[in-house]
Structure 1
């Protein structure tokens, strides 16, 4: 699967960046893998230079810190592929995520007991809630989702409790 990044040449014309390979590597996570499509470390990013591309090249090679979906002041785009019958850990990331199911069928479980089934084409906006994913794709199929994350910039408090990134195994 090709992944291209556009930029500008020294004449100001639009061109494709040659700083990174066009294939995006996938990093293994329990029961799944994640392909980091792009990251920024600031928002909005400065596109007058290619420092964002340089930072992304580093992130895609080394990954982000464990449990981190995007950087504290940046953004991230990724594709997560779940192995057949995978159930993720219940977790919360301090991000606002927009997710599109692009293949398969998944259940989204919330710690309040709600469960929704999502199939290819369905979307969810995840607002820093405790959740887990379960791949229920028929015939032992894989499930694939595209996600776009931005950090939650303000202190995050619900019902008098300051919420933080959390993973329950």
Structure 2
């Protein structure tokens, strides 16, 4: 599959997703309240792009009076969304250029990663490498990991749902967020592990 954009920030061949948000009308019937195309945005210098689908800022979310929609729109407009939304959830679609690999990282969150297109390799800090195919799901439980597109020629796409979680203790050691960088990240620290 081809792409456009710069070599450093290529554009994936996948269409930008349309997000349909439902609600209720005055007759108490379900309706499609909005539909928005979420344009993929490049992670600077990483040959990866993402579309922010939705966020929640509390658990369980309050859907009354469209409070959840207002909070999501506020976060989206701020441009300051962290990788994890403290006290809530984030859903993103992420596109990986051929043979692209992320940094080894860990978030204080419970994440569902679903392969939508292509094949991805999930590597953990024990050295294990798991090949995931279209439709496969990883349940990341605050573990150190990296993602790599298994193909040298084709793009891959994943859907991620990140949910804030309680502090994680392993063998008596407190595991905090580690975004695999010193002084640089596409995302600022989430701050949910303080």
| TM bucket normalised to smaller | 0.7 to 0.9
Partner of 1:111: 125
Mean Cα deviation higher: 21-30 or 105-114: 21-30
Structure 2: give runs of 5+ residues left out of the alignment.
Answer: 1-16, 182-194
Structure 1: give runs of 5+ residues left out of the alignment.
Answer: none
Question: What TM-score results when the alignment is normalised by the length of structure 2?
Answer: 0.77
Partner of 2:29: 13
State how far apart, in whole Å, the 2-side matches of 1:98 and 1:44 are. 18
Partner of 2:108: 94
Partner of 1:142: 155
- RMSD, aligned CA: 1.7
Matched residue count? 163
In structure 2, do the counterparts of structure 1 residues 62 and 80 end up closer, same or farther at CA, with 3 Å as the change threshold? Answer: farther
State how far apart, in whole Å, the 2-side matches of 1:81 and 1:52 are. 26
Determine if the alignment matches structure 1 residue 32 to structure 2 residue 48: yes
Partner of 1:157: 169
State how far apart, in whole Å, the 1-side matches of 2:124 and 2:97 are. 20
Q: CA deviation at 1:95?
A: 0.8
State how far apart, in whole Å, the 1-side matches of 2:28 and 2:104 are. 47
Secondary structure at the counterpart of residue 89 of structure 1 = coil
Q: CA deviation at 1:33?
A: 1.1
The answer to whether the Cα contact below 8 Å between 1:31 and 1:88 also exists between their aligned partners in 2 is: no
Mean Cα deviation higher: 72-81 or 154-163: 154-163
Q: CA deviation at 1:57?
A: 2.1
Secondary structure at the counterpart of residue 126 of structure 1 = strand
Q: CA deviation at 1:63?
A: 4.0
Q: CA deviation at 1:97?
A: 0.7
In structure 2, do the counterparts of structure 1 residues 80 and 62 end up closer, same or farther at CA, with 3 Å as the change threshold? Answer: farther
In structure 2, do the counterparts of structure 1 residues 62 and 143 end up closer, same or farther at CA, with 3 Å as the change threshold? Answer: farther
State how far apart, in whole Å, the 2-side matches of 1:61 and 1:31 are. 24
Question: What TM-score results when the alignment is normalised by the length of structure 1?
Answer: 0.88
Partner of 2:66: 50
In structure 2, do the counterparts of structure 1 residues 52 and 79 end up closer, same or farther at CA, with 3 Å as the change threshold? Answer: same
